[in-house]
Chains A and B, each alone.
Chain A
Amino acid sequence: MSQLAYEYYVDIVTKRYFDAVDKQDLQRVLDCFHADATLKEMTSNTEHRGREIGIKKMFESLFDAHSRIWHGNFVHTVDIEGQAICSQFSVEVTPHASGQELRYENCNRFYLLDGKFDRVYVYMSGDNLLK
């Protein structure tokens, strides 16, 4: 595959991935990942392996637990040569259990292969949501 454009990396992270997460559209979320992708939450050392197993289960739990999820205030560091994008952003979530909005200042490192996420690393400013 030829080198992807700068805006491809920003678009897959914001317009495809986080937009789908915020809309709780599981299939659109999973479409961003390779089948054997991994997602690791670094602040709690929690790793989710495989798009249709670990990652799918993690997002099902996230969506089941929250009535509202919002990601915004993005700042991206895009490396076309390295096929990577590192993004800083704010997260607001409202758990069903409490109804109280929680806010986080997080970052993700996305490493892509052929235009899809191969490895994703997540750092969270508070308790781990991605269990």
Chain B
Amino acid sequence: MQYQTNLNRQQLVELVLTRYFANIDRKDLDGTLACFHDCALVTVQTSFALHEGTASVRRMFADLFARHSRIAHKNVNCTVDAKNGRIAASYIEELVANDGVRSVFENTAFWRLRADRFQELYVYVSGAQSH
């Protein structure tokens, strides 16, 4: 599906960096969900986990936030296709579980924009799965 968006390169990067990842790292559930359409589709492709719609996406992030004392996304390197409303990024994800166990992943995510929000998100996780 090809969606329509008017977001430019800078706006796409800001959405991913300053709204999506920043809200996750703050464990701001409503702020994170505000980046998505109500009918958004989130797929963790490396584990075939599918989350469809706000309730399911909310559960996924609520569970991630509840199980970790610290969440940090770093070294985000964006690949931006503003012409087609798509942005991908590689990034380091650091998770510290409530029992103190620290996991570091080198992930890649793909977002497809409809208007000013995410319609689809695909996450590819390196190594062991964490969410």
A residues with a Cβ closer than 8 A to B are: 6, 42-43, 45, 75-79, 81-82, 84-86, 88, 105-107, 109, 121, 123-125
Contacts and interface: CB of A to CB of B under 8 A. Distances in A.
8 A-B pairs with least C-beta separation:
A123-B124, A86-B88, A42-B126, A79-B79, A77-B88, A77-B86, A77-B81, A84-B79
Given A43-B126, A79-B79, A81-B80, 17 more contacts: A42-B126, A42-B127, A43-B46, A75-B110, A76-B81, A77-B79, A78-B81, A82-B78, A84-B79, A85-B79, A86-B108, A105-B45, A105-B48, A109-B79, A123-B45, A124-B46, A125-B48
Contact of B110 (A84, A86, A125): A86
Given A77-B81, A77-B88, A85-B79, A107 B124 contact: yes
Interface string B32-49: 000000000000011110
Contacts, number: 72
25 contacts: A42-B124, A43-B124, A75-B86, A76-B81, A76-B86, A77-B80, A77-B86, A77-B88, A77-B110, A79-B81, A81-B9, A81-B80, A85-B79, A86-B79, A86-B88, A86-B108, A88-B45, A105-B45, A106-B45, A107-B124, A109-B88, A121-B90, A123-B108, A125-B45, A125-B48
B108 A121 contact: yes
Interface in B84-131: 84, 86-88, 90, 106, 108, 110, 122, 124-127
A29 B46 CA distance: 25
Contact-residue size bin, chain B (C-beta under 8 Å from the other chain) = 20 to 34
Contacts of B122: 88, 107
B81 to A, nearest CB: 4
B81 A45 contact: no
Contacts of B47: 125
Given A82-B80, A84-B79, A123 B110 contact: no
Nearest to B89: A86
Contacts of A107: 45, 108, 110, 122, 124
Q: Which of A43, A85, A86, A125 has the most CB of B within 10 A?
A: A86
A107 B80 CA distance: 16
B83 interface: yes
The residue among B45, B46, B88, B124 with the most chain A CB atoms within 10 A of its own CB is: B124
